[in-house]
């Protein structure tokens, strides 16, 4: 991307920012990163963001023109368009459409995982765990033999799901934890993603510390490693 400067406006814990960072790293696209406090949003940020959310991607060219993109999927698609290789979407149009649908599924799965991780009582945690587990079972039935969602090629579906698995890696939810027990393909996929350089580089070195502190602030059961019983409610 000659003569173009990219600035990723982010929050240290935002999983959607991680998606964008992973995609840009995979493409070898250089970018700067600026974090904002979403509890005290600066005026310049509110002026740029149509939704008041991150991520934003500021795109500046050598003519002085500046554009702003919002929503992680739109930004990732932009990266795919301007830097086609390495491709993060399959070339087959039908499979590409299926992948886009699974990216939406990954977003719903992220919401379920976040609800589970932030639950502060057993009833809520159990209900959220049950919903999240069902999502994982659907993925178990759909994903390939690995190492990635559709086989050897890393794709946007992998980009979309990676921030979810990072949470459970930090909390040391192993493959026999009730939420993951028996899901061998999911476990192998999760391990492969954890080793991907772009995924490692998508967060700051203090990410785990910040994430755990967030859970403690929420008085989340997951922060104190409390067992979660699926189907309790």
Domain boundaries of the chain, sorted by first residue: 4-82, 93-224
Backbone angles phi, psi at 13, to 5 degrees: -105, -5
State the pLDDT confidence band at 232, using cuts at 50, 70 and 90. Answer: very low
Higher pLDDT among residues 146 and 74, named by residue: 74
State the pLDDT confidence band at 230, using cuts at 50, 70 and 90. Answer: low
Could you check whether the bond before residue 55 is cis, i.e. omega within 30 degrees of 0? yes
CA distance 213 to 62: 41
- What are 136-182's pLDDT values in tens digits? 999 999 999 989 999 999 999 999 999 999 999 999 999 999 999 99
What's the average model confidence in pLDDT over 182-198?
A: 98
Report the CATH fold assignment for 93-224: Glutathione S-transferase Yfyf (Class Pi); Chain A, domain 2 (1.20.1050)
CA distance 71 to 161: 16
State the pLDDT confidence band at 61, using cuts at 50, 70 and 90. Answer: confident
Within 28-171, where are the H helices? 43-48, 72-82, 93-118, 122-142, 156-170
- What are 78-110's pLDDT values in tens digits? 999 999 999 999 999 999 999 999 999 999 999
User: Under 8 Å CB-to-CB from 56, ≥6 apart: which residues?
Assistant: 8, 9, 45, 48, 49, 68, 69, 70
Q: Which of 78, 99, 65 is nearest to 24 (CA)?
A: 78
Q: Which of 161, 49, 52 is nearest to 99 (CA)?
A: 161
Look at residue 159 in the predicted model and tell me its pLDDT: 98
Report the CATH fold assignment for 4-82: Glutaredoxin (3.40.30)
- What are 27-54's pLDDT values in tens digits? 999 999 999 999 999 999 999 999 999 9
CB of 60 within 8 A of CB of 66? yes
On whether the pTM is more than 0.85, the answer is yes
Length of the chain: 233
Which residues are identified as catalytic? Answer: 14
CB of 107 within 8 A of CB of 18? no
State the pLDDT confidence band at 129, using cuts at 50, 70 and 90. Answer: very high
Look at residue 233 in the predicted model and tell me its pLDDT: 39
Higher pLDDT among residues 64 and 38, named by residue: 38
Distances, alpha carbon 63 to alpha carbons 24, 29, 60, 141, 214, in Å: 23, 20, 8, 50, 42
Within a 10 A sphere around the Cβ of 21, how many other Cβ atoms?
Answer: 24
- What are 15-25's pLDDT values in tens digits? 999 999 999 99
What's the average model confidence in pLDDT over 128-137?
A: 97
Percentage of the chain modeled with pLDDT above 70: 95
HSE (CB half, 13 Å, CA atoms) of 122?
A: 7
State the pLDDT confidence band at 224, using cuts at 50, 70 and 90. Answer: confident
Q: Which of 2, 37, 8 is nearest to 21 (CA)?
A: 8
């Amino acid at each position: 991307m000659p003569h173009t400067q990219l600035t990723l406006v982010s929050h240290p814990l935002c999983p959607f920012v991680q998606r964008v960072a992973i995609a840009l790293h995979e493409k070898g696209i250089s970018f700067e990163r600026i974090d904002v406090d979403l509890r005290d949003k600066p005026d310049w940020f509110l002026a740029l963001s149509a939704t008041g959310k991150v991520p934003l991607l500021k795109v500046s060219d050598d003519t002085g023109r500046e554009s702003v993109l919002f929503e992680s999927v739109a930004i990732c698609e932009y990266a795919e368009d301007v830097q086609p290789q390495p491709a993060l979407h399959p070339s087959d149009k039908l499979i590409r459409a299926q992948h886009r649908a699974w990216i939406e599924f990954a977003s719903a799965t992220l919401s379920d995982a976040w609800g589970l991780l932030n639950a502060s009582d057993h009833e809520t945690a159990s209900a959220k765990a049950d919903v999240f587990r069902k999502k994982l079972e659907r993925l178990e039935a759909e994903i390939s033999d690995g190492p990635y969602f559709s086989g050897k090629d890393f794709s946007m579906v992998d980009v979309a799901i990676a921030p979810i698995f990072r949470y459970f890696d930090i909390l040391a939810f192993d493959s026999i934890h009730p939420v993951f027990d028996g899901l061998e393909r999911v476990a192998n996929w999760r391990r492969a993603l954890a080793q991907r350089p772009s995924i490692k580089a998508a967060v700051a070195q203090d990410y785990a510390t910040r994430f755990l502190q967030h859970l403690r602030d929420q008085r989340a059961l997951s922060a104190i490693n409390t067992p979660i019983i699926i189907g309790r409610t």
